[in-house]
Amino acid sequence: MSSQEVKQARSAVPFNREHLESVLRQRFFYAPAFDLYGGVSGLYDYGPPGCAFQANVVDFWRKHFILEEDMLEVDCTMLTPHEVLKTSGHVDKFSDWMCKDTKTGEIFRADHLVEEVLEARLVGDKEARGLVKDANASAKEDADKKKRKKKVKQIQAVQLEDAVVKEYEEVLAKIDGYSGPQLAGLMERFKIGNPVTGDALEPPVAFNLMFETAIGPSGQLKGYLRPETAQGQFLNFNKLLEFNNGKTPFASASIGKSFRNEISPRSGLLRVREFLMAEIEHFLDPLDKSHPRFHEVKEVRLAFLPREVQEAGSTEPIVKSIGEAVESKMVDNETLGYFIARISQFLLAIGVDERRLRFRQHLANEMAHYAADCWDAELQTSFGWIECVGCADRSAYDLTVHSEKTKQKLVVRQKLDKPVEVTRWEIDLTKKLFGPKFRKDAPKVEAYLLNLPQEELEAKAEELKQTGKIIFHVEGIDGPLDLDDKFVKIEKRTKVEHVREFVPNVIEPSFGIGRIIYSIFEHSFWSRPEDTARAVLSFSPLVAPTKVLLVPLSNHKDLAPVTAQVSKLLRAEKIPFRVDDSGVSIGKRYARNDELGTPFGVTIDFDSVKDGSVTLRERDSTRQVRGSSKEIIEAIRSITYGGVTWEEGTKGLAPFTSQSETA
Ligand SMILES: Nc1ncnc2c1ncn2[C@@H]1O[C@H](COP(=O)(O)OP(=O)(O)OP(=O)(O)O)[C@@H](O)[C@H]1O
């Protein structure tokens, strides 16, 4: 098969999630944890190919980001004291909205419920308009809809008014941005209750997603399993800065498990309660967010879904280069843009389908109040578009709040070549009064005021002079807030400075490895059109769990020495391989390994005994070439690790046609 024919074959048979799930289960890529005890939803164990795949993805992540960018890797503890996560805002804010059915005891995640019900009503509307045949019948064939059908008892073929359809579509385009009270409003307006019984639900309440525990036997020290790896990186900022000789920009990175007590884990690996994260915190000067290597990625073209497009109720992406996106200020700054492009390069290199990748900007109320801009890399799966990597400009929020709480400076001191006289508006806060007045919101109010830009400080100074108080709003706190001159003093001061001191801003790319892995499983999966039971996982050789299947044609003793010799060569080259010397037909052995995504088969036959030549088979096209074992291994090495194509890697090797593909 030519590359073109492979392309056609890959899309000939419609994607079937149940088939993929059965292959992943049978080949033990992953499985529900504790299944002997009935399982616990949202917890999974990875089996041998899943582990190898994950290890290869993580290995490439390290090379692509940590090594390529000289990042400073840290490995911080997962157990985190209450105080740290209280300061970071997680104790008060890290929650989703849930609503309960008091009759059945069922619990629903409010945004997911609204999304599922509205989507089901839109499917019903399409059916009533004759745009789909029978939503419930086709749901039988389609695993996705089947699942939905279980949740939303029956898709009713009811035609909606055009205005209602438009309203539903607009709500769905903005579904990630609603607060609890807004979700309650939507549930009331659209009469959304228990999707099966129709009963009314309690209004949504916030449910904190962190797993709480006590550290030590006394039970006095409250703690949590970390919900992200970021806080450990922020708390080590001073040590990392010193390690980097006091200079910014620099980035730290961390790979490790995070834990979230998801309200209703669903969609397999996409929403779990314990998952591997890989996170980068890039610390930079707030006055200079340029990136020295931006020119290297400037031309990278990406599909963007900016805020305005979503707010207009559309999901049609805009394709442009990252250079254009930053220049037009659609993406806030160069460093954020640089990471967006690097994230895309990473995802494509490990096998994400480019057509199923987009970057979606956070809506204003979806974004954390301190964030300057935030884009998610979303991958399209049979569960819809899924956020797999978040990329946010977190401004100076984290370092500021930890510094305030611990009274330790978390700043960069930049020695100035020439001392400068600086005239600046400065704000002094009487912090001891902030706690009693604002309680848990005090750090946020302080951070807001300390980060006010000069023009605003000037205006506030005037306001304070004229009215004796300042009035302001802090996102996420009900307002307006006001403070009089017992709390704040704002003055213009002139000083000679030898050192410039600043709290760095942080750009944070945050990867959920499990979500990426599952999406690649879907993007790589297809069935051979001539026999749809034969599944293939077309993994990129770079991340495939095993690179080579070594297949002696038969169990004949004469073949064993050649098998041993080729094994030795592969081992010396550190190419992961497996020998399949089971007695089954060669076609069956190939088919088994196509399901494991093994990109190459090396076949040893009786000619190999005579002249040392072996056959190399490529998984997707089933093309074969023949050469000496050294030549073949060199071809495998250069295609797998050197990034060359099959055509380039096997140039000069003779095509081979006699191996049977029939199972
Ligand atoms: N429950 C989960 N299961 C698997 N991966 C997750 C889960 N929650 C988050 N992630 C991964 O961690 C990354 C960073 O986490 P982040 O806090 O930005 O996610 P999130 O916005 O809370 O995700 P969602 O809105 O889907 O719950 C996500 O892009 C995703 O890949």
Q: pLDDT tens across 29-73, in order?
A: 999 999 999 999 999 999 999 999 999 999 999 999 999 999 999
Beta bridge pairs of residue 386: 379
Same domain, 201 and 235: no
Angle at 352 (CA atoms; ends 74, 296), nearest 5 degrees = 65
Ligand 1 pocket, residue 233 CB under 6 Å: no
Burial group, residue 452, by CB count within 10 angstroms (0-12, 13-18, 19+) = middle
Alpha-helical runs (H) found in 425-574: 431-438, 442-450, 454-467, 513-524, 560-572
pLDDT of residue 57: 98
**CATH code, 583:** 3.40.50.800
Name the band, by pLDDT with cuts 50, 70 and 90, for residue 305: very high
Same domain, 289 and 388: yes
Cα separation, 578 vs 549, whole angstroms: 5
Angle at 457 (CA atoms; ends 454, 459), nearest 5 degrees = 115
The whole-number average pLDDT for the span 169-192 is 91
φ, ψ at 559 (rounded to 5°): -80, -20
Convert the pLDDT of each residue in 551-589 to its tens digit. 999 888 999 999 999 999 999 999 999 999 888 899 999
Same domain, 237 and 308: yes
Torsion sign, CA atoms 364, 370, 375, 377: negative
Beta bridge pairs of residue 30: 46
**CATH code, 149:** 3.30.40.230
What is the Å distance from ligand 1's center to 405 Cα?
27
Cα separation, 115 vs 558, whole angstroms: 63
Torsion sign, CA atoms 576, 582, 586, 592: negative
Q: State which H helix or E strand residue 374 sits in.
A: strand 373-381
Query: 335 near 326, Cβ under 8 Å?
Result: no
Residue 624 lies in a domain: yes
571: which residues sit within 8 A by CB, 6+ positions away? none
Three-state DSSP state, 507? strand
Give the type of residue at 633.
I
Q: Which atom of ligand 1 is nearest to the CA of 377?
A: 29
Torsion sign, CA atoms 5, 8, 10, 12: negative
Name the band, by pLDDT with cuts 50, 70 and 90, for residue 643: confident
Return the CA Rg of the chain.
Answer: 29
Convert the pLDDT of each residue in 460-470 to its tens digit. 999 999 999 99
Ligand 1 pocket, residue 390 CB under 6 Å: yes
Minimal-distance CA residue to ligand 1 atom 14 = 510
Q: How many CB atoms lie within 10 A of CB 53?
A: 26
What is the Å distance from ligand 1's center to 387 Cα?
7
Packing angle, helices 513-524 and 17-26, rounded to 10: 110
Same domain, 244 and 388: yes
Query: 597 near 539, Cβ under 8 Å?
Result: yes
Ligand 1 pocket, residue 515 CB under 6 Å: yes
Name the nearest CA neighbour of 553 among 529, 586, 600.
586
Residue 234 lies in a domain: yes
Same domain, 382 and 248: yes
pLDDT over 70 for what percent of the chain? 96
Ligand 1 pocket, residue 551 CB under 6 Å: no
pLDDT of residue 334: 96
Name the band, by pLDDT with cuts 50, 70 and 90, for residue 347: very high
Cα separation, 148 vs 145, whole angstroms: 5
Convert the pLDDT of each residue in 221-231 to its tens digit. 999 999 999 99
- Domain boundary among the residues 502, 533, 557 is at 502
Minimal-distance CA residue to ligand 1 atom 6 = 512
Minimal-distance CA residue to ligand 1 atom 18 = 390
Specify the pairing of strand 30-32 against strand 212-215.
Answer: unpaired
Res. 406: pLDDT tops 90: no
pLDDT of residue 134: 67
Convert the pLDDT of each residue in 485-504 to its tens digit. 999 999 999 999 899 999 99
Q: Which residues of 358-394 are buried (b: 16+ CB within 10 A; e: fewer)?
A: bbbbbbeebbebbbbbbbbbbbbbebebbbbbbbbbb
For tokens 């790979």, what's the residue? 255
Test site for ligand 1: of 387, 389, 513, most ligand atoms within 8 A of the Cβ? 387
pLDDT of residue 154: 67
The whole-number average pLDDT for the span 418-425 is 91
Residue 268 lies in a domain: yes
Res. 399: pLDDT tops 90: yes
Res. 478: pLDDT tops 90: no
The whole-number average pLDDT for the span 293-313 is 95
pLDDT of residue 67: 98
Residue 497 lies in a domain: yes
Q: How many CB atoms lie within 10 A of CB 593?
A: 24
Residue 231 vs residue 656, higher pLDDT: 231
Residue 238 lies in a domain: yes
The whole-number average pLDDT for the span 428-456 is 90
Convert the pLDDT of each residue in 375-389 to its tens digit. 999 999 999 999 999
pLDDT of residue 444: 87
Same domain, 252 and 200: no
Cα separation, 307 vs 322, whole angstroms: 16
Minimal-distance CA residue to ligand 1 atom 19 = 390
Ligand 1 pocket, residue 109 CB under 6 Å: no
390: which DSSP letter?
A: E
497: which residues sit within 8 A by CB, 6+ positions away? 416, 419, 420, 421, 422
Convert the pLDDT of each residue in 64-122 to its tens digit. 999 999 999 999 999 999 999 999 999 998 999 999 998 999 999 999 999 999 999 99
φ, ψ at 185 (rounded to 5°): -60, -45
> Which of 131-135, 272-276, 592-596, 627-631 shows the lowest mean pLDDT across its residues?
131-135
Ligand 1 pocket, residue 272 CB under 6 Å: yes
564: which residues sit within 8 A by CB, 6+ positions away? none
Q: How far is CA 654 from CA 550, 616, 618, 624, 626, in A?
A: 19, 10, 14, 9, 5
Q: Which atom of ligand 1 is nearest to the CA of 513?
A: 31
pLDDT of residue 152: 57
Q: Which residues of 542-557 are buried (b: 16+ CB within 10 A; e: fewer)?
A: bbbbbbbbbbbbeeee
Convert the pLDDT of each residue in 243-270 to its tens digit. 999 999 999 999 999 999 999 897 899 9
The whole-number average pLDDT for the span 313-319 is 91
Name the band, by pLDDT with cuts 50, 70 and 90, for residue 153: low
φ, ψ at 375 (rounded to 5°): -125, 135
- Domain boundary among the residues 447, 480, 502 is at 502
Minimal-distance CA residue to ligand 1 atom 11 = 512
Ligand 1 pocket, residue 388 CB under 6 Å: yes
Query: In which domain, by residue range, is 552 found?
Result: 546-655
Same domain, 304 and 378: yes
What is the Å distance from ligand 1's center to 517 Cα?
14
Res. 139: pLDDT tops 80: no
Q: In whole numbers, what is the pLDDT of the chain averaged over residues? A: 92
What is the Å distance from ligand 1's center to 413 Cα?
34
> How many helices and strands in the chain, by DSSP H and E?
26, 29
Which residue pairs from 607-614 have beta carbons closer than 8 angstroms and sit at least 24 positions apart in sequence? 608/559, 608/562, 609/558, 609/559, 609/561, 609/562, 612/562, 614/562, 614/566
Same domain, 390 and 421: no
The whole-number average pLDDT for the span 361-378 is 88
Q: State which H helix or E strand residue 552 sits in.
A: strand 548-552
Alpha-helical runs (H) found in 503-622: 513-524, 560-572, 586-595, 606-611
Same domain, 189 and 281: no
- Domain boundary among the residues 493, 513, 533 is at 513
Ligand 1 pocket, residue 387 CB under 6 Å: yes
The whole-number average pLDDT for the span 404-408 is 86
pLDDT of residue 129: 87
Ligand 1 pocket, residue 223 CB under 6 Å: no
Residue 528 lies in a domain: no
| Cα 56 from chain centre | 17
pLDDT of residue 251: 98
- The 3-state secondary structure of 263-315 reads CCCCCHHHCCCEEEEEEEEEEECCCCCCCCCHHHHCCCEEEEECHHHHHCCCC
For the question of whether the overall pTM of this predicted structure is more than 0.90, the answer is no
pLDDT of residue 114: 95
pLDDT of residue 151: 54
Which residue pairs from 340-345 have beta carbons closer than 8 angstroms and sit at least 24 positions apart in sequence? 340/302, 340/375, 340/377, 340/391, 341/297, 341/300, 341/302, 342/64, 342/65, 342/297, 342/509, 343/377, 343/389, 343/391, 343/509, 343/511, 344/300, 344/302, 344/377, 345/64, 345/297, 345/300
Convert the pLDDT of each residue in 581-619 to its tens digit. 888 899 999 999 999 999 999 999 999 999 999 999 999
629: left (phi over 0), alpha (psi -120 to 50) or beta: alpha
| ipTM value for the complex | 0.98
- If one counts the domains in the chain, the total is 4
Residue by residue, DSSP assigns 158-225 as -PPPHHHHHHHHHHHHTGGG--HHHHHHHHHHTT---TTT----PPPEEEE-PPEEEESTTS-EEEEE
Residue 12 lies in a domain: no
Same domain, 204 and 235: no
Name the band, by pLDDT with cuts 50, 70 and 90, for residue 661: low
Beta bridge pairs of residue 342: none
pLDDT of residue 632: 96
Query: 176 near 97, Cβ under 8 Å?
Result: no
Res. 630: pLDDT tops 50: yes
Ligand 1 pocket, residue 271 CB under 6 Å: yes
Same domain, 251 and 319: yes
Name the band, by pLDDT with cuts 50, 70 and 90, for residue 10: very high
Q: Which atom of ligand 1 is nearest to the CA of 388?
A: 31
**CATH code, 439:** 3.30.720.200
Q: State which H helix or E strand residue 139 sits in.
A: helix 135-141
Query: 548 near 570, Cβ under 8 Å?
Result: yes
Residue 490 lies in a domain: yes
Same domain, 199 and 106: yes
194: which residues sit within 8 A by CB, 6+ positions away? 101, 103, 104, 106, 108, 200, 201
